[in-house]
Structure 1
Amino acid sequence: MGRADRISVGVGAAVRAFLREPIQVAVLLALPLVVIEGYGYAMTAFPEFPFMEMNAETMGRLNGAIYAAAFLSGVMGLFQVISAVQADERLQLCGYSRAELFVTRLATVLAASLIVAAVSLAVLLWRVDVALPAVAFLALAAAALVYGLLGMLVGAVLPRALEGSLVLVFLVDADDFLSSGMVEIDTRLVELFPLYHPHQVFQSAVDGSIATGDALVTGAYILCLLGVVAAVYVRVTGNGGVLRG
């Protein structure tokens, strides 16, 4: 079996394992709807300030779409690292190299990012007119991938499902809110937040333009995270990994 075949088999196994759990599929389909609609209705009572570039209800739905994509992908990344510690050493005995296993985990997170971005955008289009849906999809996928990678880092530091998921809830919620533009923050430090630039690209796509600069920064952010995640994966799955014990 060639390298591409082994990677394909690994990704397929991860997808099948996910689909075998009905609750996971239900969450994937229901969470974007609940969050996007919930954020939209909640924001109807939010006062519209001069610095807000769109009405509060629409902004709430946009934030809900980003949150759903980022959180679901982040949880997938978290579980990829937790399961890596338990399974990848055995898979190496079956002929998988560490590089192949890492690519398999990464491809699974990427696939999850694309799926949750598609589901979130589909729910959003039900209520909001999006001028550039293809660009909006890429922005959502980028936000999801950023948190998929961050979820892998959280899993390396806190390799427990419940605690790791709670940390991700807090991180995504705070990041999404502060990066969205719903509150006026008089500091450029907000531009360092993981979701700030994907938010800018996403909101611009909804309005009909492309925020090229923010898209480039988002790409650079993802590349940097990839390097960090690769180093962490080697540490986690190697002898004396931080998650052993």
Structure 2
Amino acid sequence: MTRFATVAEMALREMLRRRSVLVILAALPLAFYLSRRGDHLGQSVRFVCLGLGWALSTAALFAGSAAREIEPRLRLSGYRSHHLYVGRLAALWAVGVALAVPYFLLILVDQDGVRHGPVALMMAIMVAVSAPFGLALSAILPRELEGTLVLLVVVGLQMMTDPGSALARALPFWFSREIGTYAIDGVDSGYLARGVLHGVVCAVVLLAGVAVASSLRLRQRSHLKFVTPR
């Protein structure tokens, strides 16, 4: 547990160094919420959840990119690959919970006509999915700019694509639409079941992707340089 905690603490320290970025990311869900609160109160709940997912995924992307330099040295110190990505995920999930709680309290106070239990569940699944999604992008894409653009495309498609289409169901945040519909519109529990199932499957797939990508990348030992004797 000590090694997991050490990696988690290092990840938190690295994220706290980007204070201005963290402030912007923390305000992003609020901007999503206020953009729809005036005329579409129900949609504002879905939008704040998407804003939360975008913010946490971006933080995870930055955390994964920042860890590229130090991870090889930690591996040489005896850390295993699962120590690194599990510790980093724990830090990101803690940040996600700290970010989600104030927005859930905002919805709790500001909106009476929704099912608050499913809203809390939707946010919890969003935190669980967003952290490994951002880390997976950082493992696949070498630069933060490319990862940020991919996040922009994913969130944009999630907002604009027909929710019943196959493309929408393939996106990682589709569950928020189903659970949000159940929480806001009072539909049958089938929406809740589909949303939870989709969220759990996405979380498991993304966690497996992070584990595989991290293990393969760290086994390459690109930090070692072999000198050919003359």
Smaller-chain TM-score range? 0.7 to 0.9
Does residue 18 (structure 1) correspond to residue 1 (structure 2)? The answer is no
Residue 32 (structure 1) aligned with residue 13 (structure 2): no
Structure 1 residue 123 displacement after superposition: 3.6
Q: Kindly tell me: are residues 20 and 240 of structure 1, through their superposed partners in 2, closer, same or farther at Cα, counting changes over 3 Å?
A: closer
Structure 2: which amino acid aligns with 1:36?
Answer: Y
The 5 A counterparts of 1:172-183 are: 172-178=155-161
Is the 8 Å Cα contact of residues 139 and 199 (structure 1) preserved in structure 2?
no
Task: Report the equivalent of 2:211.
Answer: 230
AA at the equivalent of 2:76: L
What's the CA shift for 1:16?
A: 3.1
SS in 2 for 1:86: coil
Give TM-score scaled by structure 2 length.
0.81
Aligned to 1:74: 57
- Residue 174 of structure 2, aligned match among 196, 204, 210: 196
Q: For residues 57 and 131 of structure 2, what CA distance do their matches in structure 1 show?
A: 4
Cα distance between partner residues in 1 of 2:159 and 2:101: 19
Maintained 8 Å contact 1:140/1:202: no
What is the total number of aligned residue pairs between the two structures?
A: 219
Matched with 1:105 is 88
> Retained in 2: the 8 A contact 1:72–1:116?
no
Equivalent position SS for 2:69: helix
3-state SS in 2 of match to 1:151:
helix
User: Does residue 1:221 correspond to 2:202, yes or no?
Assistant: yes
Amino acid at match of 2:37: G
Letter of the structure 2 residue corresponding to residue 165 of structure 1: T
CA deviation map 1:55-81 (0-9, x unaligned):
xx1233123212211101111221232
Residue aligned with 1:74, SS = helix
| Ranges in structure 2 where 5+ consecutive residues have no aligned partner | 223-230
Q: Judge conservation of contact 1:70–1:145 (CA < 8 Å) in 2.
A: no
| C-alpha separation in 2, matches of 1:203 and 1:116 | 22
Which letter does structure 1 place at the counterpart of 2:219? G
Separation in 2, partners of 1:190, 1:149: 19
**Greater shift after overlay, 149-158 or 222-231?**
149-158
Q: 2:137 — aligned with what?
A: 154
Shift of residue 126, structure 1, vs aligned partner: 4.5
Letter paired with 2:181: Q
* C-alpha distance 148-190 of structure 1, shift in aligned 2 (>3 A): same
**C-alpha deviations, 1:100-140, integer Å up to 9, x for none?**
11211221232233233223323434532364434312212
Contact 1:66 1:199 in 2 (8 A): no
| Partner Cα separation in structure 2 for residue 81 and residue 24 of structure 1 | 15
Fraction of identical pairs, as percent: 24
Is the Cα–Cα contact under 8 Å of residues 136 and 202 in structure 1 kept in the other structure? yes
Once the two structures are superposed, what CA deviation does each residue of 1:83-105 show, in whole Å capped at 9, x if it has no partner? 23211111123332222112112
1:38-62, Cα deviation, whole Å (9 max, x unpaired): 2334xx3xxxxxxxxxxxx123312
With over 3 angstroms needed to count, the CA separation of the structure-2 counterparts of 1:96 and 1:139, relative to structure 1, is same
Q: Which runs of 5+ in 1 are unaligned?
A: 45-56
Q: Decide whether aligned partners of structure 1 residues 125 and 178 sit closer, same or farther in structure 2, where only a CA change above 3 A counts.
A: farther
